[in-house]
């Protein structure tokens, strides 16, 4: 080995006129080099295994975006006037469960065979949307009274007003003739 390239730091072959990595022209080294000396890439002047001493109490700066974990039991104070919203009940898949505990709304998407049949987004009373795939059904708790259901898929939108007095089922499908979203209330 003849040393390292002063441009890219890659090892050089003996007698090379140019670096094989970056093509930089090699300047002849000084006459005071010997074969038994180990050469290091430019910029690396500290011996191997050397660690620079650090002052007492020194804390290295945290990386950008890093948040130090909070101590156990710590609760972050809320801004003035902030009210935490009640958690949104999770959407349930499968059977309605115990209907005596409350009212249930079943959203059932008809299984239809199309070349492209993406998931449909459903929002109840401008709440959190849920996604309904082709042939899927979900059962969610609902309060009695009037509700507005909004169905959307790409550029197609459909609104439906319902009045809940008992358990309900809404069947959702695509109108094959017009390509619009079609909904109808069915027995639970």
* 8 Å CB contact between 152 and 159: no
Between CA 67 and CA 74, with CA 68 as vertex, the angle to 5 degrees is 110
Model pLDDT for residues 97-129, shown as the tens digit of each residue? 444 457 999 999 998 887 778 889 999 998 888
Provide the pLDDT for residue 100: 44
Provide the pLDDT for residue 170: 94
Stretches where the chain sits below pLDDT 70 are: 1-2, 28-50, 60-71, 73-101
Model pLDDT for residues 167-186, shown as the tens digit of each residue? 999 999 988 788 889 999 98
Residues 11 and 148: their CA atoms lie apart, in Å, by 72
Provide the pLDDT for residue 141: 92
Residues 110 and 75: their CA atoms lie apart, in Å, by 46
Write down all domains in the chain, each with its CATH number in brackets: 1-44 (no CATH), 93-186 (2.60.40.2890)
Provide the pLDDT for residue 139: 92
Residues 6 and 19: their CA atoms lie apart, in Å, by 9
Provide the pLDDT for residue 42: 57
């Amino acid at each position: 080995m003849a040393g390292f390239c002063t441009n890219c730091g890659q090892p050089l072959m003996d007698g090379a006129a140019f670096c094989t990595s970056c093509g930089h022209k090699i300047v002849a080294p000084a006459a005071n080099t010997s074969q038994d000396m180990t050469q290091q890439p430019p910029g690396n002047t500290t011996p191997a295994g050397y660690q620079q001493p650090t002052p007492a109490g020194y804390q290295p700066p945290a990386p950008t975006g890093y948040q130090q974990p909070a101590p156990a039991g710590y609760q972050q104070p809320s801004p003035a006037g902030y009210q935490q919203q009640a958690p949104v009940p999770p959407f349930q898949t499968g059977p309605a469960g115990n209907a005596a505990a409350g009212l249930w709304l079943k959203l059932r998407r008809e299984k239809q065979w199309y070349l492209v049949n993406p998931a449909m987004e459903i929002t109840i009373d401008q709440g959190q949307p849920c996604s309904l795939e082709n042939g899927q059904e979900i059962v969610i708790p609902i309060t009695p009274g009037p509700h507005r259901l909004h169905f959307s898929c790409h550029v197609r939108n459909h609104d439906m007003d319902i009045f809940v007095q008992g358990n309900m089922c809404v069947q959702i499908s695509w109108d094959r003739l017009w390509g619009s979203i079609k909904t109808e209330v069915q027995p639970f």
